[in-house]
Amino acid sequence: MPNGKPFEVEIDKEKGLGVYSNLVMITHSPSEFVLDFARIMPGLPKAKVVSRVIMAPQHAKMFLKALEENIKKYEERFGEIKIDHTDEKKIGFQS
C-alpha cells in the first residue's frame, strides 16, 4: 500500500479476462526487469508474446516475495506443485 494507506484497484473488463501464458522470458538491465509472457503451442515453431511487464528492480523483488508467499499458501491448501524438467525449460532467464 502506498504510504501505508488503503487503496482501490480497478480493472477493466478486457484485462479482467486475462491471457494464458505457458512461457516467460526474463531480461534485465541496471534499471529494470522485463518479463515477456508468451504462449507456445504444440507443433508450432514459434512462441508468441502475449504480454510484456516492465518493472523497477525493487518492484521485481517485491513481486518475487509476494509470489513466494502466495505459492506457499497455495501448497498448504492444495498440496505441493510438481515441476518436471520440461516445465523448467519454459522459464527463460537472460541478462
pLDDT digits (tens, 9 = 90+) for 2-29: 567 888 999 999 999 999 999 999 999 9
- Quick count: other Cβ atoms within 10 Å of Cβ 40? 13
Which segments in the chain show pLDDT lower than 50? 93, 95
pLDDT of residue 52: 98
What pTM was computed for the model?
Answer: 0.78
> Identity (one letter) of the amino acid at 19?
V
